[in-house]
A and B are shown apart, each in its own frame.
Chain A
């Protein structure tokens, strides 16, 4: 097969570029330790979530101080609200602390994204999505359902309030 010289150079450069991309991403995941959404949250019955009889913290979702330095936020997404998160029950978490969000759905597929951060996950019935973050600035962040979930999808928002550590009260369970 006849391959022109310019073509060979281009081919080499293209492969170099691709390998470079893969290398930077591998570094991001392995070296810099950017954790990905994966199967660590486990499975759950969507119907049990709907009926509030899962026997887990999802039956009474809210913010829980699970250990000295880890705050866990249990969130149920359902048409068309986050519990907690939407309306007058914002998610309230402390600044400079490891926060783990565990999110599941009681009905259809939703999205869960916190604006100005890279907290971004799908919420799939039957699965628990788990993302961990540390907020290093106080303030109010937006919470968006970014996956179409029905006729009022565009109203499904909420907020995350990051407060100074001394103003944060754990065990703030909401419904």
Chain B
């Protein structure tokens, strides 16, 4: 039976979450191409001062809204599919409306800046502060309130998964937690722990400060609280992609998961290690002793471990699938994978690009080599491979498989869906490799026109002109890729029900099943406690030092931008 018929209420919830997420993707991709063309001097339809408003919109809509809503939908499916029940409705819908309201508030604040909106509540309606919103740059309070509501909404959404798990547990006291739910729950625990930082920053400091209730904030403290959340958030994007790669991708490849226990170990490692690493975004911040940076660096390097293990298990599962399909030889089995299946091809290409992103990430993590690339175009080059491809392309690809099941409608425009992942892949290969090289040449990120009156940049490999061209072409292809995806989704959504769906939603058992994994893995209390201890070690002393002289010292008054 199809998911939508089995769980009609949860399907409706997922559909609503996906619609918001796809609208955010559409707008975000539009802003993306505007930026790519503007900063390369290819086509300029906005003023350079407006570039930052567009960039704020791009960052917030894609990195925050598209991801969070899509993840909420994916997790709702994963929990309800693996625990075989509808999600609790009241709390799930409250979460949805809260997140949507927050999104609208933040979006209004951002767009206000673009159209020169009047002052509201005594503050100019604008938010050109980028999605990292560092104080003492100040946005309209609506922006901060909106951001806070999106996060609080996501907490509430998580509560629905926990409630489902408790209900299931009371009916199945002795069974192992199904893998998909296990992954959702570990991810959400990580999310709860890591969002505390940004919640304190926004609710306790930035909202009162932007309303004028407190006169100054300590920029280094707010920055530290932001990055306490700013790195784990990338795992909040990545772990859902891993959920897809572990639980759905092997089956799309024609096989089954290689090892269920190892998948659990990987997720527990993420829970433990994701948060105490934020100082690696502050390697070149003054005011933080080197020792704290070193501890964060060590943790960061160990965080490579779960990703390296994932590479092994996922590739092994794919190889198993390919051999089931008649694949032979050391590498020629790769040809026996279903490269013409959009869901499979998208996830596999996303995984491949993630490997490249992993390598540039190792450079970022290197405490001393980081000096070469900090805040250069290398950085967006890196994260368009991770969140912009590993997550975004996986989300799009798995929608080709999931949306028919939550709508009961057959995938339309299949031929467009088949080429879409390849268009994204090529576009990203061009844009991101040029961004990486431009970064090595010292060209900064987040700038409308990296041309100064005093000097010019020179490329290390290739000329600056050639890099610009690649970024422009790559960005355009990415936009086309997003548009193709949205056309397929829109037509599928609007199609009539009927006919065979052509998706198979039965999951084969893993080669090594959950019965081989030690029970202690399901002990969330233990893992959460260890995670908190690690955070206290990494963050306790530096935060205590920053707070020793008062929360607003050394302080800075707000500066509207």
Residues of A within 8 A of B (CB): 1-4, 6-7, 10-11, 14-15, 17-18, 21-22, 25-26, 28-29, 34, 36-39, 41, 43-47, 79, 86, 90, 107-109, 111, 113, 115-116, 118, 120-130, 140-155, 157-159
Known contacts A122-B285, A126-B556, A153-B52; A148 and B312 CB within 8 A of each other: no
Known: A3-B262, A107-B136, A144-B444. Is A124-B285 also a contact (CB below 8 A)?
Answer: yes
Contact in complex: B516, A142 (CB < 8 Å)? no
Partner of A154, one of B134, B297, B316, B448: B448
- Cβ of B283 under 8 Å from chain A: yes
Q: Which chain B residues border A41 with CB–CB below 8 Å? A: 286-287
Q: Are A151 and B454 in contact (CB under 8 A)?
A: no
Query: B136 to A7, Cβ gap below 8 A?
Result: no
**Contact in complex: B368, A37 (CB < 8 Å):** no
Q: With A and B bound together, what is the CA distance between A3 and B264 in angstroms?
A: 13
| Chain A residues near B305 (CB-CB < 8 A) | 14-15, 18
In the complex, the chain B residue whose C-beta lies closest to that of A18 is B301
Give B523-561 as 1s and 0s: 1 = Cβ < 8 Å from A's Cβ atoms.
Answer: 000000000000000000000000000000111110101
Whether the Cβ atoms of B517 and A1 lie closer than 8 Å is: yes
A172 to chain B, nearest CB (A): 18
In this complex, what residue of A is CB-closest to B304? A18
Instruction: List residues of chain A with CB within 8 A of the CB of B128.
Output: 150-151
Taking CB atoms and an 8 Å cut-off, the chain B residues in 273-290 that contact chain A are 282-290
A129 to B286, CA, bound (A): 5
Contact with A along B429-459 (1 / 0, CB 8 A): 0000000000000101111111011111100
Which of B185-193, B217-225, B346-354, B492-500 forms part of the interface with chain A? B217-225
Least distance between B359 CB and chain A CB atoms (Å): 12
- From B219, B289, B367, B372, give the contact of A29 (CB < 8 A): B367
Whether B223 lies near A124 (C-beta < 8 A) is yes
CA of A83 to CA of B447, assembled, Å: 21
Given A108-B559, A118-B371, A126-B218, A39:B366 Cβ within 8 A: no
Set A10, A108, A116, A140: member contacting B308, Cβ < 8 A = A10
Closest A residue to B288 by beta carbon equals A39
Residues of B in contact (CB 8 Å), total 74
Smallest Cβ distance from A74 to chain B, in angstroms? 14
Pick the contact of A148: B48, B130, B316 (CB < 8 A).
Answer: B130
Which residues of chain B come closer than 8 Å to A38, judged between CB atoms?
Answer: 286, 288-290, 293
CA of A126 to CA of B552, assembled, Å:
10
B554: contacting residue among A1, A127, A144, A151, CB under 8 A: A127
Asked whether, in the complex, the Cβ of A4 is within 8 Å of the Cβ of B220, the reply is no
User: What residues on B are CB-neighbors of A37 within 8 Å?
Assistant: 283-286
CB distance from A139 to the nearest CB of B (A): 10
CB distance from B309 to the nearest CB of A (A): 7
Cβ contact within 8 Å between B556 and A46: yes
B contacts, CB < 8 Å to A: 48-49, 51-52, 55, 128, 130, 134, 136-137, 218-220, 223, 259, 261-262, 282-290, 293-294, 297-298, 301-302, 304-305, 308-309, 312-313, 316, 362, 365-368, 371-372, 374-376, 442, 444-450, 452-457, 512, 516-518, 553-557, 559, 561
Q: In the complex, what distance in Å separates the CA atom of A69 from the CA atom of B442? A: 29
Are B287 and A14 touching (Cβ within 8 A)?
no
Closest to B47 in A: A151
Inter-chain contacts of A150 with B (CB < 8 A)? 128, 137, 559, 561
B371 touching A120, Cβ below 8 Å: yes
Question: Whole-angstrom distance between the alpha carbons of A108 and B312 in the complex?
Answer: 45
Chain A residues within an 8 Å CB radius of B453: 155, 157
Taken together as a complex, chains A and B put the C-alpha atoms of A56 and B219 apart, in Å, by: 21
- Asked whether B293 lies within 8 Å of A36 as measured between CB atoms, the reply is yes
How far apart sit A48 and B559, CA to CA, in the bound complex (Å)? 15
Residues in B neighbouring A28, C-beta threshold 8 A? 367-368
Residues of B within 8 A of A129 (CB): 286
10 contacts between A and B (CB under 8 A): A36-B290, A37-B286, A109-B134, A109-B219, A120-B374, A122-B286, A125-B556, A126-B287, A144-B452, A146-B445
Report A-chain residues with C-beta under 8 Å of the C-beta of B293: 36, 38
Which A residues are CB-close (under 8 A) to B362? 21
Further contacts, 13 of them, CB under 8 A, given A107-B556, A126-B556: A1-B261, A7-B313, A14-B304, A25-B368, A39-B286, A39-B287, A41-B286, A113-B374, A120-B284, A120-B374, A126-B220, A148-B55, A150-B137
Report which of A123, A128, A142, A152 forms a contact with B452, defined as CB distance below 8 A: A142
Please provide the 7 A-B residue pairs with the shortest distance between their CB atoms, ordered closest to farther: A126-B554, A157-B452, A142-B455, A129-B286, A146-B444, A127-B287, A146-B375
Known: A122-B286, A151-B561. A36 touches B220 (CB 8 A): no
**B520 nearest CB neighbor, chain A only:** A1
Residue contact A111 to B309, C-beta cutoff 8 Å: no
Chain B residues near A79 (CB-CB < 8 A):
559
Cβ-closest chain B residue relative to A140: B455
CA distance A144 to B128 in the complex (A): 20
CB neighbours of B371 from chain A (8 A) = 118, 120
Are B375 and A113 in contact (CB-based, < 8 A)? yes
Are the CB atoms of B518 and A153 closer together than 8 Å? no
B264: nearest chain-A partner, CB-CB: A1
With a cutoff of 8 Å between Cβ atoms, the chain B residues found around residue A141 in the complex are 455
Report whether A152 and B49 are in contact in the complex, using a CB–CB cutoff of 8 Å: yes
Q: How far is the CA of A109 from the CA of B221 in the complex (A)?
A: 13
Tell me, rounded to whole Å, the shortest Cβ–Cβ distance linking A53 to chain B. 15
| CB–CB A127/B454 < 8 A | no
Q: Is the CB–CB distance between A116 and B442 below 8 Å?
A: yes
Q: With CB as the reference atom, state the residue of chain A lying closest to B517.
A: A1
Could you tell me the distance between the alpha carbons of A18 and B301 in the complex, rounded to whole angstroms? 6
B307 and chain A: residue at smallest CB distance: A14
| A18 CA / B361 CA spacing, docked (Å) | 13
The smallest C-beta distance from B543 to any residue of chain A, in angstroms, reads 14
Task: List the B side residues contacting A143 at CB < 8 Å.
Answer: 454
- The residue among A46, A125, A145 with the most chain B CB atoms within 10 A of its own CB is A125
Cross-chain contact B517 with A124 (CB below 8 angstroms): no
Please, which residues of chain B bring their CB within 8 A of the CB of A153?
52, 446-448
A154 touches B556 (CB 8 A): no
- The CA-CA distance from A70 to B282 in the complex, in Å, is 27
Docked complex Cα distance between A142 and B453 (Å)? 10
Contact yes or no, A115 B450, CB < 8 A = no
Contact, CB under 8 Å: B554 / A43:
yes
Q: How far is the CA of A10 from the CA of B446 in the complex (A)?
A: 39
Min Cβ gap A5→B in Å is 12
Shortest Cβ distance from A129 into B: residue: B286
Say yes or no: A125 contacts B444, CB within 8 Å: no
Nearest-neighbour CB distance to chain A for B61, whole angstroms, equals 17
Assuming A125-B556, A151-B52, A153-B447, is B290 touching A29 (CB within 8 A)?
A: yes
